[in-house]
Amino acid sequence: MTNAKLEGTQPQSIISGVAYQRCINPQCGYTLDVGQVRTACDRCGDLLDIEYDWDRIRVPSQLSHFEQMWLQRHSPLRFSGVWRFHELLPFAPAEKVVTVGEGQTLLQKANFVANFVGLEKENLFLQYEGMNPSGSFKDNGMCAAITHAHLTGARRAACASTGNTSASLAMYSSVTGLMKAIIFIGSGKISYGKLSQALEYGALTVQIAGDFDDAMQRVREVSKDLGIYVVNSINPFRLEGQKTIMFRVLEALRWQVPDWIVVPGGNLGNSSAFGKAFIELKQLGLIERVPRLAVINAAGADTLYQLYSRRGLRWNSGQPDMGVVRDYYDDLDSRSAKADTIASAIEINRPVNLTKCLRALDFCDGVVRRVTDQEILDAKAQVGAGGIGCEPASAASVAGAKLLREEGVIAPSDRVVCILTGHQLKDPTATVAYHTTDQEKFNEVLGSRGVSRASFANRAVAVPNEVEAIVRAIQLYS
């Protein structure tokens, strides 16, 4: 692997010569010190990666080395499910990393859900990222972004959000006291669970008369003007933290690589980070083969599906046909088309990590599918009935796995890991509406989304306030 040749201007280097930023476009390849704050390449405007001069880093020769880190869990660095893997994302010195104990998550063998998906028993695993301190996978990336922000002297950090990024940023800001959180949200587009977190943690909450795509554009403009640090997943440091979700999946499988990783696709940060994780593990000789990647859009926010599966857009050795993308966005604009799904976390039409995701799909022989809100809510009900539960966007992964099984793309004997990105309690409105006995409530919340039935509803039983009637109901239903 090559040494970094730094071409950008160079302030203080955080780890001189070991980590650097590089444009993902191979024809550009512009490099920049890690001490610089950017969300795009200065030369060509494409996305940036964090790269490492691996020859100068003491990377363990076996992934099983990382299990030893548990023995040191009295140290916050090793307790963190992100920084436990510091050698695989060494852009900041170990003593400078920010952690609130993120990444203590669970890979659960889910036989009940395997049956729903159509997989053989023992073959479906659910990675519960909702167990993070702010209740979603975002904490994996936020600890890395805040580490970098702090090292570069940032006093304010901002994001546009469908709710989970903002909850995570607000939490890191208040727990650490290192910076002020400023969050941009679309109006009426964020679930109460997530909004309540940002408000309670004390973030400055800017509600824009628009949707997530509008908020995303504005946060980039305003942050540039005011010199505010941006923590959306266009921030390449965030994706370094999100790589560790895959390290923990492999660890839980005793370092056996599964056949499939299935993940919901919104802004496409996770899928991009997972691809980078596997590219690097393979490059370092730490795994022999890579899993296939399935990215699942909601049908009402299906840009990746439209571009990848319908229009044949590919990574194409780093030269994707951006004309196809521009035409697609022009068409959306001409129709004033807006993203619309019950899975509000992935209600995004202009995913900022599109090109990185194409690279991940290329490397992991990926597929992209879209699932309806009906399929998402039925899958969510089954995940909940099988155990810990998740928010609607997360269940897109399970609904997608089921679809791919039905198509025969995933075989019954394949080992499949679905990423459950957010906690069940993030969005109780959709859950309660699904299980309600009140048809009006059902229609109000779900009917407009094309959801016509609750196939797996567990309805409350209404009884008079009398012991006899209650006893009768319990005997009848249990």
Q: Which amino acid is at 62?
A: Q
Beta strands in 386-442 (DSSP E): 416-420
Site string for ligand F0G, 17-46 (x = CB under 6 A): ------------------------------
Q: Give the 3-state secondary structure of residue 140.
A: helix
> Using an 8 Å Cβ cutoff, are 393 and 343 in contact?
yes
Which of 129, 34, 42, 39 has the alpha carbon at shortest distance from 352? 39
The smaller minimum CB distance to ligand F0G, of residues 35 and 210, is found at 210
Considering the complex, what minimum distance in angstroms separates the CB of residue 7 from ligand F0G? 29
Distance in Å, CB of 54 to ligand F0G, minimum: 25
99 binds ligand F0G (CB under 6 A): no
Closer residue to ligand F0G in complex, CB, 286/401: 401
Using CA atoms of 158, 164, 167, 170 in order, give the dihedral in degrees to the nearest 10. Answer: -20
Residue type, 184: F
Burial class from Cβ neighbours inside 10 Å (0-12, 13-18, 19+) for residue 206 reads: middle
Q: Phi and psi of 327, rounded to 5°?
A: -60, -40
Burial class (CB in 10 A: 0-12, 13-18, 19+), 465: exposed
Considering only residues 411 to 440 of the shown chain, the ones binding ligand F0G according to CB under 6 A are 421-422
Exactly one of 21, 105, 127, 165 binds ligand F0G (CB under 6 A); which one? 165
Q: How many angstroms separate the CA atoms of 429 and 306, rounded?
A: 29
* Range in contact with ligand F0G (rule: CB under 6 A) among 10-18, 331-339, 388-396, 470-478: 388-396
Site for ligand F0G contains 193 (CB under 6 A): no
Is 394 an interacting residue with respect to ligand F0G (CB under 6 A)?
Answer: yes
Stretch in the footprint of ligand F0G (CB under 6 A) among 172-180, 223-231, 261-269, 442-450: 261-269
Task: Say how many residues touch ligand F0G, by CB under 6 A.
Answer: 22
Establish if 265 lies at the interface with ligand F0G (CB under 6 A). Answer: yes
Of 35, 141, 140, 144, give the one whose Cα is nearest residue 98: 144
Binding mask 324-353 for ligand F0G (x = CB under 6 A): ---------------------xx-------
- Work out whether 391 is an interface residue with ligand F0G (CB under 6 A): yes
**Which 121-160 positions form the footprint of ligand F0G (CB under 6 A)?**
136, 138
Q: Report in angstroms the alpha-carbon separations of 416 from 266, 291, 404.
A: 20, 9, 11
Give the interface with ligand F0G as residue ranges (CB under 6 A).
Answer: 136, 138, 161-165, 233, 264-270, 345-346, 391, 393-394, 421-422
